[in-house]
Amino acid sequence: MNQSLTVLGLESSCDDTAAAVVRNGSILSSIVADQTALHAAFGGVVPEIAARAHAEKLDHCVEQALDTAGVTLAEIDAIAVTAGPGLIGGVLSGVMMAKGLSAATGKPLIGVNHLAGHALTPRLTDGLAYPYLILLVSGGHCQFLKVDGPTSFKRLGSTIDDAPGEAFDKTARLLGLPQPGGPSVEQHATDGDETRFAFPRPLLDRPGCDLSFSGLKTALLRQRDALIADQGGLHAQDINDLCAGFQAAVRDVLTEKSRRALDAAPDITGFAVAGGVAANTSLRHALEALSQARDIPFVAPPLALCTDNAAMIAHAGAERFAMDGADDLSLSARPRWPLDQSAPAALGSGKKGAKA
Query: Minimum CB separation from ligand KG4 for residue 164, in Å?
Result: 7
Contact 10, 80 (CB under 8 A): yes
Tally of residues, the chain: 356
Cα-flanking dihedrals φ and ψ of residue 238, to 5°? -60, -45
Q: Does the protein bind ligand KG4 through residue 186 (CB under 6 A)?
A: yes
Return all residues near 293 (Cβ < 8 A) that are at least 6 apart: none
Tell which positions 154-173 bind ligand KG4, by CB under 6 A: 165-166, 168-169
Dump the DSSP string for 57-123: HHHHHHHHHHHHHT--GGG--EEEEEEESS-HHHHHHHHHHHHHHHHHH---EEEEEHHHHHHHHHH
Question: Which range touches ligand KG4 (CB under 6 A), out of 92-100, 127-135, 257-265, 273-281?
Answer: 273-281
**Shortest gap between Cβ of 138 and ligand KG4 (angstroms)?**
3
Interaction partner, residue 248 (Zn ion, ligand KG4, none; CB < 5-8 Å by kind): none
Among 131, 180, 215, 348, binds ligand KG4 (CB under 6 A): 180
Shortest separation between residue 166's beta carbon and ligand KG4, angstroms: 6
Task: Pick from 94, 111, 181, 353 the residue near ligand KG4 by CB under 6 A.
Answer: 181
From the list Zn ion, ligand KG4, none, which binds 108 (C-beta under 5 to 8 Å, kind-based)? none
Quick one: what does residue 211 bind among ligand KG4, Zn ion, none, with the CB cut-off 5 to 8 Å set by partner type? none
Q: Quick one: which of 100, 131, 183, 297 contacts ligand KG4 (CB under 6 A)?
A: 183
Q: Residue 82: which residues within 8 A CB-CB, separation 6 or more?
A: 10, 11, 12, 13, 91, 94, 95, 112, 113, 114, 117, 313
Q: Judged by CB under 5 A, does residue 308 bind Zn ion?
A: yes
Q: Pick the closest to residue 302 from 293, 292, 312 (CA basis).
A: 312
Among 89, 276, 301, 338, binds ligand KG4 (CB under 6 A): 276
> Residue 243, exposed/middle/buried by CB under 10 A (0-12, 13-18, 19+)?
buried
Q: Does the protein bind ligand KG4 through residue 280 (CB under 6 A)? A: yes
Task: Restricting to residues 119-148, name those near Zn ion by CB under 5 A.
Answer: none
Sole window of 172-180, 232-240, 262-270, 307-315 interacting with Zn ion (rule: CB under 5 A): 307-315
DSSP state letter for 159: B
Based on the shown chain and the rule CB under 6 A, indicate whether residue 138 belongs to the binding site for ligand KG4: yes
Q: What angle, 0 to 180 degrees and rounded to 10, lies between the N-to-C axes of helices 47-69 and 88-105? A: 40
CA atoms within 13 A on the CB side of 46: 11
Nearest to Zn ion by Cβ — which residue?
A: 308
- Cα separations in angstroms, 292 against 72, 177, 255, 280, 296: 44, 34, 13, 18, 6
Per CB under 5 A, the segment of 208-216, 232-240, 306-314, 325-333 that binds Zn ion is 306-314
Query: What is the binding site for ligand KG4 (CB under 6 A)?
Result: 14, 138-140, 165-166, 168-169, 180-183, 186, 275-277, 279-280, 307-308, 352
Residue numbers of the site for Zn ion (CB under 5 A)? 308
